[in-house]
Structures are given as structure tokens and as C-alpha cells.
């Protein structure tokens, strides 16, 4: 199989399969939560729980007092990953093909810098996971696997963009394959949090909110 | 006949609901909850990381309620929990958690960790993995109506004392009163100054109130040990007492878990809404302040702070009231660095104070409160929970710190403006 054939397969059938697994998998994960339901709370509320839950979905993205120091690398990586995914011009062209519309992109030089920052912050979080006693105790195969499948698309994308280092077609094929791996892994790992945190934050905010506490 | 392990697994299965499934689905093992928990910050032992205390429940959730977990279970790739695990986790679920809920405030994905610990305890109780001290307290509560074994006779003696001190009569079983006042065990046994204090305040503020001989204690060991059945049984006594007397309100005393039990868990435990409203004593006092019925004179110039009982602030929503009330009578009221919903626990909530096995750990983690107090150098700590009060006194004593601890209601009573003649509080 030549590099160009690999690329066609990666962004053709392989990508379609991965997206299908991603969508069906996430639906199952959401359904697994939904069907458990919860008992109606019979205590008299002090305030509205629903809106408090909605509020927490947003406010929980902010650092708790005095805790920013633990969260900086997390912010850099999450924002960096999001910006690179949605504001790198070739990605936008890809989304335009699929969705039929496009949006503005950011200069390649900026994307390049953000990618390096994101990779560095991911390496930093890995080092913390390995060195800090709490993070090391909590971590299992799932955590390291999720880290790897998140790191790889950023790394291979970076290498593909810097085509003087590697063979562009081959590296692009590998890049898309790592994206496929990320998509397939999503429903089976803690990466699911990107979807389910809307539920968990809402529940937390709503439970406290009906008691009159903003969390 | 089910084994203890089966009972535990079944109880967990019963407790796991959509919120819990969303919490476990979202956890990314970031470990931030550790930095919010005084059991971790004061010991630096990673096993006290709050979410780790729920590993067994997470395992049950994964194997029983997720498709992927079921596949792994079939392939023998995820381990089932064991009796040994339950024994090991007892310390984590009871000794090192006061149900303070600080971890639930910081989790980036929004996990309400303490919501899960409370439910995890249900499984620990049914499988016989609750601490002896808490079991004893719960048995005493069921047998005598009080976890500290305080009897009606003791209360009656305190009432006589209160009547003598205040010159007012203390209403007991008064049909049709507006408010039924509950007390905590420790208030009757140790901090009985509260009885003349509320008697005088209610007399001055024209509050129609009563005590109830069938239900005088708000403390609920069932909530702390984590048994809904026992908690419901204790609560039914209060509901029945309140309904017989036909009161409009039941006043939750200066006790954190009593408020959680009565105000938030209660209707769910008995399976129906109440025919009365539950109000915390501080909420009522603040209402009386706002309507001009609570009048005080003179200001206390002592440098003082307020220790927020976790169940009142984070888990209860009584946050501003104590501050409004304190500012009414104190000129030098200062906050600790983390206060209100961000307060740090005294170390003895959630049944830890009744758990002898946890005593040395509890005193160790008091270090957090000590640091907070060292920063502000106060002469007095005011609080609104008799359990916190005991734990603070214990911790201060252990650390040779000379700071006075007092309940807020009692402090307000000391500054009360006496306009009425002291005759007949019970006739209001």
C-alpha cells in the first residue's frame, strides 16, 4: 500500500467507521446515564435548581479560589486543542467539505505556536501524573491510554505541517489515523467527559442550587 | 441468605442513579479534589483523595451499568470488589470523610463527590462495615431517642434550670404553637445555656413556640452512619410529634447534620412532603432581626470570627444569616481566609466525632483550622453547631490555644434587649 492509498483509506472508510463508533458510542454512554434516572426530590427548594445547574455548567470552567496553579496546564491544553482543531485553515476546509460551511481561520504561525504549547502542557501533565503521589495513585491504564491518543494527533499534525521533516503524504495519513484512533477511543475512555461533564456539572449545580448554594 | 458482600453490591446498585453515573463517566482522575480535602492537605496521604474513597462504587457502576464494563466483566478484565476491599475502605468512607462537601465545590467536571460518599455509606452499613462508635450512637438514638443517650428526664431537669435562670416558663407539648423547637444532644447534655437563651429571645420577639416531649432531638445518627432506614425512623418521631402538635414550623437546632436530615433529606426519607416547614434557628433569628422583633443592645468588642458548619453553608444554604446576626452585636468580627461556602470543616462532622477509631486523625486534621485561626488571631470563635463547638474546643485544647467558643444564639441572647416582664413565655 502506497502512502497515497493509505491516506485515501484513512480519510475515507476508516474515518467514516471511526466517526460512526464515536457517535454511536457517545449515544450509548449518554443513554447509560439517562436510563438510571433519579428520584424526585420531595424537600421544599430554597431556590431554582434548573437554572443553578445551567450556571454551574459555565462557572465550573473557572478555577476555584487558590487552585489556578493546579489548572494552568489543563487550560492551555484544552484551549490549545480546541483552537488547533477548529481554527487551523486546512481543518476548516475539511469541515467545509463535510458541513458545507466554513469560518475564519488563524494564521499558521500562531497555530504552530499553540500546538507546541499544547504538546508541552500535555507532557507536563504526564510528568505530574507520574510524579505527584495523588495523581500517580489515581492513574490507571485508561489515563495513560487517553493521554496517548490525545497527544498523537497533535504531534503527527505538527510533523505533517512541517513537511521538511517527514514525507508529507505519509505523515498526513498517519495524522488522520491517529485522529481515527482518538475518535474510536472516545466512548471507551475518560475522554467521554467532554460530553458527560455537561450532565455532571448540571446535576451538581442543581443539587446545591435548590438549597440556595451557588457552586 | 445474602453475604455481606452481596448486600453491599446490591445496596450500591440501588443507590447509583443518573447523577452518579454522570459523575463517574466524567471523572478524569485530575486529583484536584485531594487539594480541597483537609484529610489530604493535612496528612499528604494520597489514599485520602476524595474520589479514591469511591473506587468500589465506581467499580460496581462500571461492571453493572456500562456496556463496556459488562464486556470487560465477561472477559474477566475488570475485577469484582471483595470483602477485603470493603474492610479497607471503611476508614476511607468514614474515618477520613466528614461529608463536608468541599471536594464537590472544586471538581472541574462537576462531580458531587460527597453526594456519592453519603450513598456509599448505605452499602457499608448493610454489609456491616460501619465504625463501632457510630453503630453504638445509632443504637442509642433508636433506643432512647438520642445518640448521646440523653433522656427526657435530663431535658426536664435542664428546663427547670432554664426557667429558674430566665424567670420564664418553657413551653412543653403546647398544642397549636407556631414553632416546634428541636435541640441537639450536645445542647441538652453540655450546652444547655441554649434553652434559657431561646426562651428569652422567643419571649421578647413574641414567638409562639414549644418543645415536644416525644421529639426533642434533631440529631440524626442515621444520616451520619448512612442508613436511610434508621434515619427515617428517627425522623418519623419528629414528624409525628410536629403533626400531633399542629405546628407550622419545626426549628432545626444549632447542629449541622440535623439540618441536613430535617430540611433536605427528611421528606425523601419518609417519602412525602411535610405538613410543616423546617427553618434553621439562624434563619428564624435573622427573620426576626429583619422584621425588628429581635432587638439587641450593646456591642461586643472582642475580636471574633465565625466558624461555618459545613452542613449549614455548602450543604444547606444558610450563609448570610449568621453574618447579619453577628454584625448586629459585634464590632470586631473578622472572617477566616476561607469562609462561607469555602469554609474548612472542624474535622468532626459526618459522624467522625462519634467514631473513636478516627480520633487521632481528626485531631491531626484540625491543623487546618488551627492555621486559619492563627492567621486572624481572634479571642472568640462563634459557631452554630454543637458538634463543631465540641470539635473546636477539643482541637483548641489539644493545641493549647486560648480561644473561647460560643454558639451564636447564645451570644445573641446575651445582648438581648429586655423590654418585657419575665413572666409567661409559655403563654405567648
Look at residue B428 and tell me if it is in a domain: no
Residues of B with Cβ-Cβ distance to A134 under 8 angstroms: 31, 34, 40, 46, 49
Residues B181 and B283 in one domain: yes
CB contact under 8 A, B26 and A39: no
Of A125, A180, A117, A173, the closest CA to residue A149 belongs to A180
CA distance B21 to B62: 9
* Helix, strand, coil percentages, rounded to 5, for chain B: 55, 10, 35
Residues of B with Cβ-Cβ distance to A43 under 8 angstroms: 263-268, 273
- Residue A100: Cβ-neighbour burial (10 angstroms; 0-12, 13-18, 19+): exposed
Residue B216: φ, ψ to 5°: -115, -5
Asked if B66 is an interface residue toward chain A (Cβ–Cβ < 8 A), one would say yes
CB contact under 8 A, B106 and A64: yes
Residues B229 and B256 in one domain: yes
CA distance B208 to B413: 17
Residues B384 and B265 in one domain: no
Q: What is the pLDDT of residues B20-41, one digit of tens each?
A: 999 999 999 999 999 999 999 9
Pick B317's closest partner by Cβ from A140, A199, A213.
A213
pLDDT band at B421 (very low <50, low <70, confident <90, very high): low
CB contact under 8 A, A204 and B51: no
- Residue A169: Cβ-neighbour burial (10 angstroms; 0-12, 13-18, 19+): middle
CA distance B364 to B358: 10
More confident of the two residues B143 and A154: A154
Sign of CA dihedral B58, B60, B64, B69: positive
Q: Is the predicted ipTM greater than 0.85, yes or no?
A: yes
Residues B407 and B275 in one domain: no
Look at residue B423 and tell me if it is in a domain: no
Question: What are A16's three cell numbers?
Answer: 467514516
How many CB atoms lie under 10 A from the CB of residue B223? 29
| pLDDT-above-90 percentage for chain B | 89
Give the per-residue pLDDT at A1.
82
Residues B149 and B277 in one domain: yes
Contact B415, B329 (CB under 8 A): yes
Site from B21, B311, B315 to mutate, A interface, most A CB atoms within 10 angstroms = B21
**Residue at which a domain ends, from B260, B289, B318:** B289
Q: What is the pLDDT of residues A99-119, one digit of tens each?
A: 999 999 999 999 999 999 999
Q: What is the pLDDT of residues B301-310, one digit of tens each?
A: 999 999 999 9
Give the per-residue pLDDT at B146.
80
Asked if A98 is an interface residue toward chain B (Cβ–Cβ < 8 A), one would say no
How close A31 gets to chain B, by Cα (Å)? Answer: 10
Alpha-carbon Rg for chain A in angstroms: 20
Question: What are B301's three cell numbers?
Answer: 468588642
Residues B169 and B265 in one domain: yes
Query: Rounded to an integer, what is the distance from CA A2 to the centroid of its chain?
Result: 31
Of B122, B121, B103, the closest CA to residue B112 belongs to B103
How many CB atoms lie under 10 A from the CB of residue B254? 30
Q: What is the pLDDT of residues B280-316, one digit of tens each?
A: 999 999 999 999 999 999 999 999 999 999 999 999 9
Residues B331 and B263 in one domain: no
CATH of the domain at B67: 1.10.1060
Angle between helices B367-376 and B386-398 (to 10 degrees): 80
Cell numbers 486572624: residue: B376
Q: What is the pLDDT of residues B136-146, one digit of tens each?
A: 888 888 888 78
Pick A39's closest partner by Cβ from B23, B25, B268.
B268
Residues B33 and B179 in one domain: no
Cell numbers 462531580: residue: B111
Give the per-residue pLDDT at B422.
54
Residues B212 and B261 in one domain: yes
Q: What is the pLDDT of residues B358-379, one digit of tens each?
A: 999 999 999 999 999 999 999 9
Task: List residues bridging with B304 in a β-sheet.
Answer: B333, B380
In the predicted model, what is the mean pLDDT of chain A?
A: 95
Q: What is the pLDDT of residues B249-279, one digit of tens each?
A: 999 999 999 999 999 999 999 999 999 999 9
pLDDT band at B233 (very low <50, low <70, confident <90, very high): very high
Average pLDDT over residues A129-137: 97
CATH of the domain at B254: 3.40.50
Residues B124 and B140 in one domain: no
Query: What are the DSSP E strand ranges found in B308-408?
Result: 330-333, 380-383, 404-407
Residue B332: φ, ψ to 5°: -125, 60
Average pLDDT over residues B34-51: 97
Indicate the domain borders of chain A. Answer: 3-31+45-209
Please give, one letter per residue, the 3-state secondary structure of A94-127: HHHHHHCCCCCCECHHHHHHHHHHHHHHHHHHHH
Pick A33's closest partner by Cβ from B21, B268, B272.
B21
CA distance B102 to B344: 8
Contact B334, B376 (CB under 8 A): yes
CA distance B282 to B316: 12
Give the per-residue pLDDT at B224.
92
Query: Rounded to an integer, what is the distance from CA A36 to the centroid of its chain?
Result: 25
How many CB atoms lie under 10 A from the CB of residue A131? 9
Look at residue B100 and tell me if it is in a domain: yes
Distant-in-sequence, close-in-space partners of A29: CB < 8 Å, separation ≥ 6: A187, A192, A195, A196, B25, B66
Overall pTM surpassing 0.80 (yes/no) = yes
Look at residue B348 and tell me if it is in a domain: yes
pLDDT band at B408 (very low <50, low <70, confident <90, very high): very high
CB contact under 8 A, A36 and B112: no
CATH architecture for the domain at A3-31+45-209:
Up-down Bundle (1.20)
**Residue at which a domain ends, from B265, B289, B313:** B289
Residues of B with Cβ-Cβ distance to A124 under 8 angstroms: none
**Count of structural domains within chain B:** 3
Residue B246: left if φ>0, alpha if ψ -120 to 50, beta else—which one? left
Task: List residues bridging with B416 in a β-sheet.
Answer: B296
Query: Rounded to an integer, what is the distance from CA B292 to the centroid of its chain?
Result: 29
Residues B260 and B212 in one domain: yes
Look at residue B8 and tell me if it is in a domain: yes
pLDDT band at B335 (very low <50, low <70, confident <90, very high): very high
How many CB atoms lie under 10 A from the CB of residue B81? 20
Instruction: Kindly compute the dihedral angle of the four CA atoms of residues B20, B22, B25, B29, in this order, to the nearest 10 degrees.
Output: -70
Residues of A with Cβ-Cβ distance to B15 under 8 angstroms: none
Residues B262 and B182 in one domain: yes
Domain that holds residue B86: 4-129
**Residue at which a domain ends, from B249, B272, B289:** B289
Average pLDDT over residues A24-50: 96
Amino acid at each position: 500500500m502506497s502512502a497515497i492509498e493509505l491516506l485515501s483509506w484513512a480519510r475515507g472508510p476508516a474515518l467514516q467507521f471511526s466517526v460512526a463508533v464515536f457517535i454511536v458510542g457517545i449515544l450509548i454512554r449518554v443513554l447509560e446515564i439517562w436510563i438510571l434516572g433519579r428520584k424526585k426530590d420531595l424537600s421544599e427548594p430554597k431556590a431554582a435548581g434548573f437554572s443553578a445547574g445551567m450556571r454551574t455548567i459555565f462557572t465550573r470552567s473557572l478555577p476555584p479560589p487558590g487552585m489556578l496553579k493546579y489548572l494552568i496546564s489543563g487550560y492551555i491544553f484544552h484551549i490549545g486543542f480546541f483552537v488547533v482543531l477548529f481554527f487551523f485553515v486546512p481543518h476548516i476546509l475539511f469541515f467545509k467539505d463535510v458541513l458545507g460551511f466554513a469560518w475564519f481561520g488563524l494564521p499558521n504561525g500562531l497555530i504552530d505556536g499553540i500546538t507546541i504549547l499544547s504538546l508541552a502542557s500535555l507532557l507536563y501533565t504526564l510528568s505530574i501524573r507520574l510524579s505527584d503521589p495523588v495523581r500517580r495513585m489515581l492513574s490507571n491504564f485508561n489515563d495513560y491510554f487517553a493521554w496517548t491518543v490525545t497527544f498523537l494527533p497533535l504531534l503527527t499534525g505538527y510533523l505533517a505541517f512541517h513537511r521538511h521533516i517527514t514525507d508529507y503524504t505519509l505523515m498526513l495519513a498517519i495524522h488522520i489515523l491517529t485522529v481515527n484512533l482518538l475518535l474510536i477511543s472516545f466512548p471507551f475512555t475518560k475522554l467521554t467527559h467532554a460530553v458527560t461533564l455537561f450532565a455532571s456539572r448540571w446535576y451538581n449545580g442543581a443539587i446545591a442550587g435548590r438549597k440556595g448554594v451557588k457552586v | 441468605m445474602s453475604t455481606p458482600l452481596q448486600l453491599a453490591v446490591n445496596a450500591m446498585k440501588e443507590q447509583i442513579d443518573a447523577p452518579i453515573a454522570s459523575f463517574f463517566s466524567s471523572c478524569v482522575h485530575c486529583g484536584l479534589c485531594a487539594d480541597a480535602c483537609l484529610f489530604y492537605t493535612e496528612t499528604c496521604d494520597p489514599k485520602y483523595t476524595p474520589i479514591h474513597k469511591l473506587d468500589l462504587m465506581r467499580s460496581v457502576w462500571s461492571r453493572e451499568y456500562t456496556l463496556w464494563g459488562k464486556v470487560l466483566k465477561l472477559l474477566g478484565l475488570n475485577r469484582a470488589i471483595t470483602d477485603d476491599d470493603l474492610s479497607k475502605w471503611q476508614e476511607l468512607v468514614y474515618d477520613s470523610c466528614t461529608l463536608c462537601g468541599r471536594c464537590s465545590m472544586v471538581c472541574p467536571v462537576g462531580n458531587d463527590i460527597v453526594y456519592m460518599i453519603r450513598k456509599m455509606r448505605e452499602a457499608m452499613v448493610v454489609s456491616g462495615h460501619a465504625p463501632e462508635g457510630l453503630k453504638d450512637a445509632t443504637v442509642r438514638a433508636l433506643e432512647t431517642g438520642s445518640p448521646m443517650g440523653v433522656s427526657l428526664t435530663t431535658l426536664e431537669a435542664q428546663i427547670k434550670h432554664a426557667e429558674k435562670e430566665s424567670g420564664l416558663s418553657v413551653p412543653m407539648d403546647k398544642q397549636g404553637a407556631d414553632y416546634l423547637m428541636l435541640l441537639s444532644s450536645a445542647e441538652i447534655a453540655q450546652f444547655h445555656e441554649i434553652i434559657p437563651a431561646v426562651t428569652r429571645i422567643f419571649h421578647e420577639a413574641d414567638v409562639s413556640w414549644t418543645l415536644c416531649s416525644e421529639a426533642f432531638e434533631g440529631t440524626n445518627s442515621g444520616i451520619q452512619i448512612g442508613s436511610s432506614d434508621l434515619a427515617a425512623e428517627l425522623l418519623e418521631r419528629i414528624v409525628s410529634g410536629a403533626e400531633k402538635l399542629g405546628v407550622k414550623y419545626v426549628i432545626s437546632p444549632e447542629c449541622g447534620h440535623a439540618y441536613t436530615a430535617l430540611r433536605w433529606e427528611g421528606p425523601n426519607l419518609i417519602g412525602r412532603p411535610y405538613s410543616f416547614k423546617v427553618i434553621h434557628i439562624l434563619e428564624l433569628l435573622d427573620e426576626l432581626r429583619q422584621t425588628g422583633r429581635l432587638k439587641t443592645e450593646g456591642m461586643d468588642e472582642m475580636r471574633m470570627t465565625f466558624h461555618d458548619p459545613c452542613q449549614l453553608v455548602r450543604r444547606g444554604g444558610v450563609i448570610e444569616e449568621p453574618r447579619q446576626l453577628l454584625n448586629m452585636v459585634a464590632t470586631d468580627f473578622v472572617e477566616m481566609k476561607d469562609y462561607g461556602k469555602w469554609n474548612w470543616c472542624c474535622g468532626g462532622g459526618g459522624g467522625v466525632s462519634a467514631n473513636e477509631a478516627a480520633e487521632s486523625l481528626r485531631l491531626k486534621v484540625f491543623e487546618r483550622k488551627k492555621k486559619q485561626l492563627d492567621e486572624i488571631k481572634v479571642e472568640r470563635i462563634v459557631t452554630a453547631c454543637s458538634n463543631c463547638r465540641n470539635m473546636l474546643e477539643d482541637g483548641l485544647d489539644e493545641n493549647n490555644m486560648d480561644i473561647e467558643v460560643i454558639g451564636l444564639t447564645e451570644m445573641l441572647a446575651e445582648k438581648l434587649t429586655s423590654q418585657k416582664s419575665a413572666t409567661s413565655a409559655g403563654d405567648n
